[in-house]
Amino acid sequence: MDEFDRRLLNRLQQGLPLVPQPWQQLAAELQCSSQQLRQRVQQLLDDGTLTRFGPMFDIEQLGGAFTLAALAVPEERFDAVAAQLDGMPEVAHNYRREHAWNMWFVLACDSPEGIDRTVAAIEAATGLPVLNLPKEKTFHVGLHFAL
């Protein structure tokens, strides 16, 4: 990562400008071309420096719902259950934890009822009970990692 990458990533953590031509405005700020910016972001995605680049939506404001959930998966079934979850569009991501509840995942659905349907579908498909942990309160934390 060079100095330009650091400047770019530090600036992108603040979000894109909400203007008709955000890449042009950002290019002016960083003293480069908008094409160079887009190419550099793609390179950072391609080499794994960035794992995701895109908007963050408040799904609840759009009528949807999300929840944090967990499964206690027997070790010998862990990979198979992970593959089942990976195949579900409602599962944003899942990950292993060293705990009795060893598989954690986020569900994002088009409605609160969709969460209930998806939890039931996961339980039916895996034969395992889902620990559903919907949020009780929203906290906004402005997080910035200076590079």
Number of domains in the chain: 2
Do 120 and 65 reside in the same domain of the chain? yes
Question: pTM of the predicted model, to two decimals?
Answer: 0.67
**Structural contact between residues 118 and 106, judged by C-beta atoms closer than 8 angstroms:** no
Q: Tokens at residue 83, please?
A: 């593959």
Phi, psi of 131 (to 5 degrees): -85, 110
51 lies in some domain: no
pLDDT 10s digits, 94-123: 899 999 999 999 999 999 999 999 999 999
**Structural contact between residues 35 and 42, judged by C-beta atoms closer than 8 angstroms:** no
**Structural contact between residues 63 and 31, judged by C-beta atoms closer than 8 angstroms:** no
- Domain CATH for 121: 3.30.70.3460
Q: Tokens at residue 97, please?
A: 């934890």
Do 32 and 71 reside in the same domain of the chain? no
pLDDT 10s digits, 18-64: 999 999 999 999 999 999 999 999 999 999 999 888 887 778 888 89
Question: What value does the mean pLDDT take over residues 114-143?
Answer: 92
